[in-house]
């Protein structure tokens, strides 16, 4: 008799980050070690290593596995083959995939799920390796891997196909819904009521047609890319407004029982502006929109939701935001006093969507109409007293706005343990003004208890030299 299947709701939950090996040409083992330490400290279980056709990437992946071994942490790694790059027109093209897995599949840090080594892809729906059908092609690849490494394969591709095909795709042990991280259904002509707070529930048809196979969901904080026809010819945005990262996490928490793995897109994809780590390595000619737009402040905010996803009782959504129970903000916050219980995150684009660049050979990105000239604010407070939030564009803004944040717990609950455990998350936005900045203050009993201000590092530009629809992210938590 076969062993009974473990209900998906009680299986371990994994959170990994998509890692572009193509941006690591100058990396050494120490660079990998720094990334692994940072990701682990903020709750990630591992990296999905996106590899392409370039020969040098094999050596970088070897360095990554060596860094994971040296870390002595249970940090997991698995390969995600970028089939938009890797040749796949002939059976001999399987050799590149086999070369990676023959070398790394037996490594103690290689990710095993449901008793099989995890292998994933970006795309691959047109990769037939000389076979007449997609299913035959990838069954051949799976069998070749298993014959080579003498281990079962748990194949979780990101094929861009109609989910109704999943029952016939027996090569798949699961599916990774790459496009689930953004509201891709929006277009400039979409009605305003669909654009504001858009639905983020495109997972449903994938889950429905997978049956009981593994489901890997995507989450991402942003998307902007700006390459001309002479390079990658990618120049568009997806609407990343409305606290995209938070709202997507809230939705994934609502369908937690149906999700086995969450893949964060991305750790270091600078070209598409959804990186969460400090830039390191070799940027893909993305410096114009990355160098002055740090994202690593999102790490601490994201870490709370990682913990909540592992334990669904940690977060309860409310009309005004949500409440965390017994959650901490990552291990890198040693510079923050223990008594600090008031946190602020803010992010904004560096210029108006209506601005005209003065020195850009590439036109304004497609879908620019979908975004709003607002800065986005998240607060996390812990107090038995109400808190006031003041939002402004800095300086003596005559149009400052005040919001009331309810207590995180009851007035009659003054126990130190209770105060440490409950934190209220609230979401806000405020208009951006060309030439000005952004500022948030938390005020309690007439005293400013926390403030977030990027200082001279951020100004909402009137006339940018080049188009930049990336996000500048900051927090009051000090060095991350």
* Rounded (10°) angle between helices 94-104 and 134-149: 30
Rounded Cα distance between 304 and 340, Å, is 16
Query: Are residues 169 and 208 located together in one domain of the fold?
Result: yes
The predicted pLDDT at position 398 comes to: 79
The predicted pLDDT at position 326 comes to: 76
Residue 328 near residue 272 (C-beta atoms within 8 A): no
Query: Are residues 98 and 199 located together in one domain of the fold?
Result: yes
Q: Give Cβ neighbours of residue 103 (< 8 Å, ≥ 6 apart).
A: 58, 62
The predicted pLDDT at position 141 comes to: 98
Q: What is the mean pLDDT of residues 17-27?
A: 98
Q: What is the pLDDT of residues 76-96, one digit of tens each?
A: 999 999 999 999 999 999 999
The predicted pLDDT at position 317 comes to: 86
Query: Are residues 424 and 342 located together in one domain of the fold?
Result: yes
| Domain at 193, CATH number | 3.20.20.80
Query: Are residues 112 and 196 located together in one domain of the fold?
Result: yes
Query: Are residues 233 and 92 located together in one domain of the fold?
Result: yes
Q: What is the mean pLDDT of residues 143-159?
A: 98
* Average pLDDT of every residue of the chain: 93
Number of structural domains the chain divides into: 2
Does the structure show a pLDDT above 60 at 334?
no
Rounded Cα distance between 71 and 14, Å, is 19
Quote the strand ranges of 69-166, DSSP E.
76-82, 112-113, 116-122, 153-156
The predicted pLDDT at position 337 comes to: 44
Residue 54 placed within a domain: yes
Residue 346 near residue 453 (C-beta atoms within 8 A): no
Residue 353 placed within a domain: yes
Does the structure show a pLDDT above 70 at 113?
yes
Of 257, 291, 325, the residue at which a domain comes to its end is 291
Query: Are residues 97 and 208 located together in one domain of the fold?
Result: yes
Helices in 322-424 by DSSP H: which ranges? 416-421
Query: Are residues 387 and 323 located together in one domain of the fold?
Result: yes
Residue 3 placed within a domain: no
Q: What is the mean pLDDT of residues 46-65?
A: 98
Least confident of 109-123, 274-288, 390-404: 390-404
Residue 18 placed within a domain: yes
CA 106 to the chain's CA centroid: 28
Residue 154 placed within a domain: yes
Residue 296 placed within a domain: no
Residue 126 placed within a domain: yes
Q: What is the pLDDT of residues 290-318, one digit of tens each?
A: 999 999 999 999 999 999 999 887 888 88
Query: Are residues 280 and 400 located together in one domain of the fold?
Result: no
Query: Are residues 176 and 252 located together in one domain of the fold?
Result: yes
pLDDT band at 478 (very low <50, low <70, confident <90, very high): low
Residue 49 near residue 20 (C-beta atoms within 8 A): no
The predicted pLDDT at position 233 comes to: 96
Does the structure show a pLDDT above 50 at 217?
yes
Residue 12 placed within a domain: yes
Does the structure show a pLDDT above 60 at 418?
no
Query: Are residues 119 and 43 located together in one domain of the fold?
Result: yes
Q: What is the pLDDT of residues 230-273, one digit of tens each?
A: 999 999 999 999 999 999 999 999 999 999 999 999 999 999 99
Q: Give Cβ neighbours of residue 363 (< 8 Å, ≥ 6 apart).
A: 235
Residue 415 is part of which domain span? Answer: 317-475
Query: Are residues 94 and 203 located together in one domain of the fold?
Result: yes
Rounded Cα distance between 209 and 75, Å, is 31
Query: Are residues 55 and 113 located together in one domain of the fold?
Result: yes
């Amino acid at each position: 008799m076969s062993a009974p299947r473990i209900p998906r709701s009680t299986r371990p939950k994994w959170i990994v980050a998509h890692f572009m090996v193509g941006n690591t040409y100058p990396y050494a083992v120490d660079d990998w070690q720094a990334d692994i330490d940072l990701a682990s400290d903020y709750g990630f279980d591992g990296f999905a290593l996106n590899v392409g056709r370039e020969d040098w990437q094999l050596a970088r992946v070897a360095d990554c596995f060596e860094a994971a071994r040296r870390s002595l942490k249970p940090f997991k790694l698995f390969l995600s083959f970028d089939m938009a790059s890797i040749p796949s027109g002939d059976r001999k093209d399987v050799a590149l995939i086999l070369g990676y897995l023959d070398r790394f599949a037996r490594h103690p840090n290689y990710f095993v799920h449901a008793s099989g080594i995890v292998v994933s892809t970006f795309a691959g729906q047109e990769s037939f390796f000389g076979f007449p059908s997609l299913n035959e092609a990838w069954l051949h690849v799976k069998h070749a891997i298993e014959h080579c490494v003498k281990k079962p394969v748990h194949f979780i591709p990101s094929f861009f196909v109609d989910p109704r095909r999943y029952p016939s795709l027996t090569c798949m042990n699961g599916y990774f819904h790459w496009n689930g991280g953004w509201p891709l259904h929006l277009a400039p002509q979409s009605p305003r009521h669909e654009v504001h707070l858009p639905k983020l529930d495109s997972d449903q048809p994938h889950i429905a047609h997978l049956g009981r196979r593994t489901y890997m969901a995507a989450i991402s904080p942003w998307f902007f890319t700006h390459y001309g026809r002479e390079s990658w010819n990618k120049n568009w945005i997806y609407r990343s407004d409305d606290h995209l990262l938070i709202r997507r996490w809230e939705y994934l928490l609502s369908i937690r029982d149906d999700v086995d793995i969450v893949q964060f897109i991305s750790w270091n994809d600078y070209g598409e502006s959804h990186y969460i780590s400090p830039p390191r390595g070799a940027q893909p000619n993305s410096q114009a929109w990355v160098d002055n737009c740090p994202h690593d402040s999102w790490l601490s905010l994201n870490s709370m939701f990682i913990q909540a996803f592992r334990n669904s009782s940690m977060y309860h959504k409310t009309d005004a935001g949500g409440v965390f129970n017994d959650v901490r903000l990552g291990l890198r916050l040693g510079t923050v006093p223990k008594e600090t219980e008031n946190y602020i995150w803010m992010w904004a684009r560096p210029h108006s969507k209506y601005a005209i660049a003065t020195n850009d050979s590439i036109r304004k990105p497609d879908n620019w109409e979908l975004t709003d000239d607002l800065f986005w604010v998240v607060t996390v407070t812990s107090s038995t007293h109400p808190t006031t939030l003041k939002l402004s564009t800095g300086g003596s803004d005559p149009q400052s706005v005040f919001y009331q944040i309810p207590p995180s717990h009851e007035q009659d609950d003054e126990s130190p343990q209770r105060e440490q455990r409950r934190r209220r998350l609230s979401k806000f936005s405020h208009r951006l003004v060309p030439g000005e900045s952004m500022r948030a203050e938390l005020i309690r009993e007439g005293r400013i208890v926390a403030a977030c201000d990027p200082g001279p590092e951020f100004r909402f530009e009137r006339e940018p030299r080049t188009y930049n629809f990336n996000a500048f992210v900051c927090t009051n938590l000090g060095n991350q």
